[in-house]
Amino acid sequence: MTSTIIWTIVVLAGLGLLLALVLFFVARKFKVEEDPRIDEVEKVMPGANCGGCGFAGCRAFADAAVKAPNLDNNFCPVGGNEVMKKVAAILGYEIAEKVPQVAVVRCNGSCANRPVVNEYDGLQSCRVKAALYSGDTGCPYGCLGCGDCVAACQFGAISMDPQTGLPAVDDSKCTACGACAKACPKHIIELRNKGPRSMRVFVSCVNKDKGAVARKACMAACIGCGKCAKVCPHEAITVADNVAYIDFTKCKLCKKCVAECPTGAIHAVNFPVLPKKTETKEASNE
């Protein structure tokens, strides 16, 4: 009995030793030479493997960054400037700082603003819904409300607001990887500059219908009247296809357009509430 156990141990240990030796020599013989900097770069990466940089994961990004002649086309949106500085230090490159960005949901078709005109009882997926028809409200451009963006976000930064039925982005968690923007079949979500102290102004509507049609479908729709473009002192606003767009690189956050907009489609978020002026439109981050 004891001899069986001893023999078993001896045979298994011997086998293990033999195979370990084989593996050791094979590993030496067929070793792939890899730039050690790839490992170093990968170590400083956030490790989310989100694909926001355009590569398959953090290691693929590190590999590309090491091979590239400079870092102009490689940027990790999750790690931001801090991580990129570290990467540049390892590789000995120089980089220009990028302005941090955040995902912005450009639809304000909440339950109150946008009446439901038909019932959808199919699969709860925006992609499936968009392939079937324009959606259960009168607006064929707006949010479908099934939460594909929520499912796409790896950082838990988007959640559906049960009151409005729209996705809400948590600025502190959003890394601007752009996964939600890709997942949205209506292309409502845009990456915009985060702005100083997260203050930003944007048109929360992408409806290209003519004013009357858009307004009928949604109380908060941009009707393309162009008042905002006229009042803007920085020429940041353009109106095309009946919808206004604010260029975030030109916007100086003067908020003149917010006051001018007749439908409240322009949102100014995270501005401090001034003691005397009571502005009701701001503060909500939708």
Partner 1 sequence: MGGVHPDDNKIARECPIEVLPLPDTVYVSMAQHLGAPAKPVVAVGDSVKAGQVIAEPAGFISAFVHSPVSGTVKSIAPRKDLAGNPQIHVEIKVEGDEWAEGIDLSKDLVTSIPDDRNAMLDRIKACGVVGLGGATFPTHVKLNPAPGKVAECLIINGAECEPFLTSDYRVMLERPKEIVVGAAIMQKILGGCRCVIAIEENKPQAVKVMSEAVSSLGYAGIKVSVLKKKYPQGGEKQLIDAVMKRQVKSGGLPIDAGAVVQNVSTALAVYEAVQKNRPLVTNVLTVTGENVPANMQHNYLFRIGIPLSFIIDHAGGIPEIAGKIVSGGPMMGKAVSNIEATTVKGSSSVLYLSEEMTRRKEASQCIRCGRCADACPMGLEPFLLNRLAKADDMAALEENAVQDCIECGCCLYSCPANIPLLDRIRIAKGQVMGIIKSRNIKK
CA 122, CA 129: separation in Å to the nearest integer? 7
Which tokens is 70 given?
């400079």
Considering the rule CB under 8 A, would residue 135 count as an interface residue with partner 1?
Answer: yes
Q: Which amino acid is at 253?
A: L
Closer to partner 1 by CB, 79 or 178: give it.
178
Considering the rule CB under 8 A, would residue 131 count as an interface residue with partner 1?
Answer: yes
Q: Are 189 and 180 in contact (CB under 8 A)?
A: yes
Nearest approach, Cβ of 140 to partner 1 (angstroms)?
Answer: 5
Considering the rule CB under 8 A, would residue 211 count as an interface residue with partner 1?
Answer: no
Considering the rule CB under 8 A, would residue 216 count as an interface residue with partner 1?
Answer: no
CA dihedral 126, 128, 133, 137 (to 10 degrees): -30
Considering the rule CB under 8 A, would residue 12 count as an interface residue with partner 1?
Answer: no
CA 186, CA 125: separation in Å to the nearest integer? 12
For residue 220, give the 3-state DSSP assignment: coil
Q: Exactly one of 40, 51, 55, 134 binds partner 1 (CB under 8 A); which one?
A: 134
Q: Are 170 and 239 in contact (CB under 8 A)?
A: no
Closer to partner 1 by CB, 100 or 185: give it.
185
Considering the rule CB under 8 A, would residue 235 count as an interface residue with partner 1?
Answer: no
Query: According to CB under 8 A, which residues from 111 to 130 bind partner 1?
Result: 117-118, 121-123, 125, 127-128
CA 158 to chain CA centroid, Å, is: 9
Nearest approach, Cβ of 266 to partner 1 (angstroms)?
Answer: 23
Closer to partner 1 by CB, 20 or 131: give it.
131
Nearest approach, Cβ of 137 to partner 1 (angstroms)?
Answer: 9
DSSP assigned state of 95: -
Q: Exactly one of 20, 132, 273, 283 binds partner 1 (CB under 8 A); which one?
A: 132
CA 22, CA 272: separation in Å to the nearest integer? 68
Q: Which amino acid is at 162?
A: P
Give the other-Cβ count within 10 Å of 174's Cβ.
23
- In sequence order, the 6+-apart residues with CB closer than 8 A to the CB of 227 are 257, 260, 261, 262
Interface mask (CB under 8 A) for partner 1, residues 154-193, using x and -? Answer: ----------------------------------------
Residues in contact with partner 1 by CB under 8 A are 117-118, 121-123, 125, 127-128, 131-136, 138, 140, 208-210
